Structure 1
Amino acid sequence: MSGVRQSLVIVGAGPRGTGVLERIAANSPDGSGELALDVHLVDPFPPGGGRIWRQEQSPLLWMNSQAQDVTMFTDDTVQLDGPVLPGPALHEWAGIDGRVFADRRSQGDYLRWVYEKAVAGLPAGVVVHHHARRALRLSGSRGGRQQVWLEGRPRPLLADAVVLTQGHLDAELDDEQEELAAYAERHGLVHLPPDFTADSDLSALAPGQDVLVRGFGLAFVDLMVLLTEGRGGRYEGDRYLPSGREPVLHVGSRRGVPYRSKIGYDWDAAAGERPPLPRFLGPAQIDELLARDDGFDFHRDVWPLIDKELGFAHYHRLFTAHPERTRVAWDVFEAKYAAAAPLGAELRALVAAAVPDPADRLDLTALDHPLDGVRHASYEELQEGLRGHITADLERRHDPEHSPDLAVFLGLLSVYGQVVRLGDIGAWWHGFFSYLASGPPGPRLRQLLALSRAGVVRFVGADLRITAEDGVFRATAATVPGLRIDARALVEARLPQPTLARTRDRLLRELHDEGAASTPAGLLAVDPADGRILYRDGSAHPRRFALGPHTDARGAGAFTRPRTNSPSFRQNDATARAVLTLLRDLSCRATAA
């Protein structure tokens, strides 16, 4: 490149922005004089950890992955064009047991180190500047430099290229939440809308107060921790000793149960061969779906392939590791399984004949609807029933005799890495993936059981319905017919789901107003090849890129398990290389001129 200094602005300095910077460093040419570049990182939070992994949060909050399952570095499984630069996973860097669920501050320390390592790996001609401000607006013609306007700064940053990696976003309230908020204000109630739990002001929830909680995923787990241990309670073995400052949490959801426990053993403990994945949903099948002139439908065209892929992982493990629980040899079953249509009667009959115990058969529909048809005669009977469900899940997910569950988990990771190429396939798949593959650590569910026995957490059941009437919030659910719980506080224990039209990120909202394309679910549309932002006229912006959960190329996370060919790493690399190519081309034009 020429000696003319160029400028790259990355909006969002958390894990995704750090990952892009690491790939910029990995793909930059050697030699101090070939790249003259200012990189501007724009984020009000410190680089590396960003908002979610910042130091200023409760030390009681954990990561949701074991330390050995968290890395920011590529390895030889990642299918990318750039160089592989291995590095330590979290447990190796921190010198801790790989099975530990580290607190989020520790992960923030790791991410800060990754950021500093990436900066140190940049050529000498690259200078990184952090702007602890919010980006408000992005302007500029397609043929010229971009202007990134920052909060509290009169002049914009000039950029030859811009990468938007803001991560999870806040959202304006939707119509339902607006109505609930207005109702709460009129009647003097407490209403906490969807939010990042660590950022929520929970002080309005009084000791002993009945609180309705809608949502039973990871946001609920954080809420549970902050309102119990965070208020001075403690555990002695399987008992919870309240401080007296806790509210009473009445929790329910569509499923009515918490996410499935993290699996409490690894492949070495389970022994045996890993399922050879992908098998029925790999690159060829994704290419075929993308090539269809009439498009594809997720439930009609994609879900049957997912079901068959996960079933293959499950039965491969069952037949090869536990053949005594099957009636035929694996090669016989595999041939018939491969020939059978997904979700069909032939496949169901094959499984029923070859796998005698229904508990050894994979039924994804039953897993997704665990309380369908379950009815309890009383509220107290429901508490016992849910404690039994959670206990059974914990025992199964920590028992290598059920190692087909671990094979299905690996299958889910494989599937996620494939379907990310399909773009926006709706929220259902991401919720299902999280429910099975991204549930809480086992110790958190044991704490939940203790809180239930102590009466601090009360289960409401499935198909939870919240209404606002008679001056209170009212909960009903299908699991206990006739059950009604009234409370003066409601917490929506789930993350905001911002569309481009509703996000509180002003820059993204204005991009959408100016013509940036969105998917039916409201995600920012990007070119899957390199992350360039797409516009409603069908064009891709030559200088603007975006990565992360606010786009239709979202991966399972900005960091990932080692040796899983992470789609996030592939995306980071492709975007970094596209940015460097753009800068090189612009530099060559400037030199020629």
Structure 2
Amino acid sequence: MSHAVGRIVVIGAGPAGTCVVDRICAGAPQPGGGRTVEVHVVDPAAPECETPYGVQVHVHRDRAIGLTESAGRQLVRLLGGRTLEADAVVLAQDRPGSGEHDVAARDGLLHLPGGPGHDLENVPAGEPVLVRGAGRAFTDLLAPLTVGRGGRFTRGRQGEPVYLPGGFEPLLYVGSRRGVPHHARPGYELAGEARARRFPYEGDERQATAKELAYAYYRELFTAHPSRTRTTWAAFEPAFVRAEPGGREMRALVTRSVPRFADRLHLDRLARPLRGMRFGDLAGLQRWMHGFLAADLERRADPAFSPDLALIRALREARPRMAGDPWFEGLFGLLADGPSLARQAELHALARAGIVTFIGAEPRIEQDEDGWRASGPTVPGLTRARTLIEARRLPSGPDGCADPLLAGLYARGEARHAAGLLDVRLPDGRLITGDGSVHDRRFALGSLTAAGGFATLLRRADAVARAVLSQVSEALVHAAA
């Protein structure tokens, strides 16, 4: 008799993940009969697990960034590059900030997790407030905390918006992974010959995608603005197609063909504009940020920069296959999912008025006896506040969740959300897809799916474990046969 192994991947080692692993181990079949159950726990901070009798438990201190399917097998992609195959997958990761909220309330602080239902009326006026995230969710916070509190915009000498405070606004100190807000949406149309091109890849889909994006960008530059190039598209294209993405030949080709630095595409610089930059104080960073916003408004309003729009369209075309990849999702949000020109101009006005202050890239936000404190590599010192607002949600995922795995499921219609939570069938926790069907091999529980106390979590963990083991049992029977 052949030996059959049933594999279960549990993503998340917090309370929900721990509970469901415990119940799976308790209900798993005992050794014998040529059947074994393996449980793979994925969490960057996962503790060591004892291997219960009859169950092999493997801990992966890594982050799950993708979940796909092939011939019924569930494929969990890890940030470190490995892919785990499984008969069933349980999503038990926590929503970002879900634990911090409880700690803040206990200590008399205010912490507002991302998503709908922000209790913005309780955000104190005239006091520093930390905001984590500078994308769309951040932009959505601005109106209720500014004009919603009596402020108003008027026009300056050049027609630019100028903010007049109402006196009841908080002072927003904003940090994010890259430290800058999303770029505004262009206010013009393409002028050249828009046409995308796919490139084959060998082991690195990101490099192939980067080349596709650059192809669309340079095609628009050469066909719509030939006076800013030293050669023709007919001469440039075949050399570009042959060149390795990001290699020396590619860089040399662009340098000799596109004379102006501002006309060359630098995806790395776009993705991390503050990388390696250090400022002596917040005031120095603000001067740089004001220049960044002014330049963005100018470039996104000028059709001379229509290659930027060609790049955005190429990002949108690539998204269905790249959804869930952290590199791609970050680039997409920054370049293709920003505010209108008018909203960006209002953000610039709020920054000039001192209502919005940027604190730089990669902020580290911690709690101490005095409240929240933020520090980071862009500027020295600490920024302190007694209120923290999360603004990190991904529009393709459940509100308040910045999880690339979930973002990929949503983008492909393999999951749906209700009231900002991941939609599952109760009591077994099977995921409900975008068309309303139920997935047999994917399960979820914990803060992604519902609120509730420890007793509720135990009941749901028990129901999910039974359903998972039943599914794996069927797989074992087929494998043994």
**1:392 matched residue in structure 2:** 295
Equivalent residue, structure 2, for 1:153: none
Looking at structure 1, the residues matched to 103 and 179 of structure 2 have their Cα atoms a distance apart, in angstroms, of 25
Q: Secondary structure at the match of 1:211?
A: strand
Distance 1:195 1:397, change over 3 A: same
Verify: 1:252 aligned to 2:175, yes or no. Answer: yes
Which AA in structure 1 matches 2:273?
P
User: Alpha carbons of 1:180 and 1:398: their partners in 2 closer, same or farther (altered >3 Å)?
Assistant: same
Unaligned runs of 5+ in 2: 1-90, 156-160, 394-399, 407-414, 443-448, 450-481
Alpha-carbon distance in structure 1 between the residues aligned to 2:350 and 2:224: 37
Tell me, yes or no, if the aligned pair for 1:262 and 1:439 is still in contact at 8 Å.
yes
- Shift of residue 531 of structure 1? 8.5
257, 261, 265: which one aligns with 2:184: 261
Instruction: Write the distance in 1 (CA, Å) between the matches of 2:368 and 2:256.
Output: 53
State TM-score, norm by structure 2: 0.63
Residue 218 of structure 1 pairs with residue 148 of structure 2: no
Distance 1:215 1:266, change over 3 A: same
Aligned residue number for residue 338 of structure 2: 439
Other-structure match for 2:81:
none
**Inter-partner Cα distance in structure 1 for 2:286 and 2:346:** 15
- Alpha carbons 1:221, 1:440 under 8 Å: kept: yes
Paired residues of 2:185 and 2:339 also in contact (CA < 8 A): yes
Partner letter of residue 102 of structure 2?
Answer: A
Q: Are residues 1:366 and 2:269 paired?
A: yes
- Deviations for 1:295-330, whole angstroms, at most 9, x for unmatched residues? x9xxx5321121111111111111122222222221
- 379, 383, 386: which one aligns with 1:485: 383
Which residue number corresponds to residue 47 of structure 2?
none
Structure-2 change in CA distance of 1:350 and 1:532 (3 Å): farther
Partners of 1:255 and 1:368 within 8 A in 2:
yes
> 2:111 is paired with a residue of what secondary structure?
strand
Matching residue of 1:535: 440
**CA offset digits 1:475-525 (Å, max 9, x no partner):** 112211x22111000000132227689987888334694555xxxxxxx67
Following TM superposition, by how much is the alpha carbon of 1:348 offset from its aligned partner in structure 2, in angstroms? Answer: 1.7
Which residue identity does 1:467 align to in structure 2? E
Measured against aligned partners, the alpha-carbon deviations of 1:530-577 in whole angstroms (never above 9, x if no partner) come to: 88654229xxxxxxxxxxxx9xxxxxxxxxxxxxxxxxxxxxxxxxxx
Q: How many residues align?
A: 332
Give the Cα separation in 2 of the matches to 1:346 and 1:191. 50
The one-letter amino acid of 1:221's match is T
Q: How far, CA to CA, are the matches of 1:458 and 1:260 in structure 2? A: 17
Question: Residues 399 and 504 of structure 1: is their aligned pair in 2 closer, same or farther, counting only changes over 3 Å?
Answer: closer
Separation in structure 2 between the aligned mates of residue 172 and residue 411 of structure 1, nearest angstrom? 34
Q: Specify the alignment match of 2:369 in structure 1.
A: 470
Q: Which runs of 5+ in 1 are unaligned?
A: 1-170, 290-295, 517-523, 538-549, 551-593
The structure 1 residue matched to 2:165, chosen from 213, 232, 242, is 242
- Which deviates more from structure 2 when the two are superposed, residues 489-498 or residues 219-228? 489-498
Q: Show the 5 A alignment for 1:132-531.
A: 174=94, 177-196=97-116, 199-237=117-155, 238-267=161-190, 271=191, 273-277=192-196, 279-281=197-199, 300-417=203-320, 419=321, 425-480=324-379, 482-495=380-393, 496-497=400-401, 508-510=423-425, 513=428, 516=431
Q: Tell me which amino acid in the other structure corresponds to 1:208.
A: G
Rate the CA distance shift 1:205–1:506 in 2: closer, same or farther, 3 A. Answer: closer
What is the identity, as a one-letter code, of the residue corresponding to 1:181?
H
The answer to whether the 8 Å contact 2:416/2:422 transfers is no
Paired residue secondary structure (2:100): helix
Alpha-carbon distance in 2 for matches of 1:319, 1:432: 23
Letter in structure 1 aligned against 2:331: F
How far 1:376 moved relative to its partner? 1.3
* 1:119-167 deviations in Å (ceiling 9; x for gaps): xxxxxxxxxxxxxxxxxxxxxxxxxxxxxxxxxxxxxxxxxxxxxxxxx
Show CA shifts across 1:54-111 (max 9, x none). Answer: xxxxxxxxxxxxxxxxxxxxxxxxxxxxxxxxxxxxxxxxxxxxxxxxxxxxxxxxxx
> Which of the pair is proportionally richer in strand?
2
The offset of 1:210, in angstroms, is: 0.9
The ranges of structure 1 where at least 4 consecutive aligned residues each deviate by more than 4 angstroms after the TM superposition are: 498-507, 530-533
Could you tell me how far apart the structure 2 residues matched to 1:215 and 1:505 are?
18
With over 3 angstroms needed to count, the CA separation of the structure-2 counterparts of 1:505 and 1:201, relative to structure 1, is closer
Q: Secondary structure at the match of 1:536?
A: strand
Q: Do the aligned partners of residues 344 and 513 (structure 1) sit closer, same or farther apart at CA in structure 2, a change above 3 Å counting?
A: farther
Aligned-residue sequence identity (percent) comes to 42
Residue 176 of structure 1, CA deviation:
6.0
Instruction: Specify the SS of the correspondent of 1:208.
Output: coil
Paired residues of 2:154 and 2:163 also in contact (CA < 8 A): yes
Shift of 1:175: 7.2
Shift of 1:214: 0.4
Q: How many Å separate the matches in 2 of 1:506 and 1:263?
A: 32
1-side partners of 2:390 and 2:149: how far apart?
A: 20
For residues 269 and 263 of structure 2, what CA distance do their matches in structure 1 show? 13
Aligned 8 A contact 2:229 2:259 in 1: yes
**Cα distance 1:247–1:334, how it changes in 2: closer, same or farther (>3 A)?**
same
- 1:531–1:327: structure 2 CA closer, same or farther, 3 Å change rule? farther
- Give the partner amino acid of 2:269: A
Give CA deviations for 1:254-277 in whole Å, capped at 9, x if unaligned. 11111011101123xxx3x33222
Cα distance in 2, alignment partners of residues 533 and 375 from structure 1:
50
What secondary structure is seen at the aligned counterpart in 1 of 2:244?
coil
SS at match of 2:130: strand
Q: Is the 8 A contact 2:417 2:423 kept in 1?
A: no
The DSSP-based 3-state class of the residue aligned with 2:279 is coil
The one-letter amino acid paired with 1:461 is: G
Q: Deviations over 1:415-464 (max 9, x none)?
A: 225x16xxx64344233212111101111111111111211111111111
- Give the Cα–Cα distance (whole angstroms) in 1 for the partners of residues 249 and 169 of structure 2: 53
Q: What is the correspondence of 1:12-51 to structure 2 with a 5 Å cutoff? A: none
Q: One-letter code of the match for 1:280?
A: R
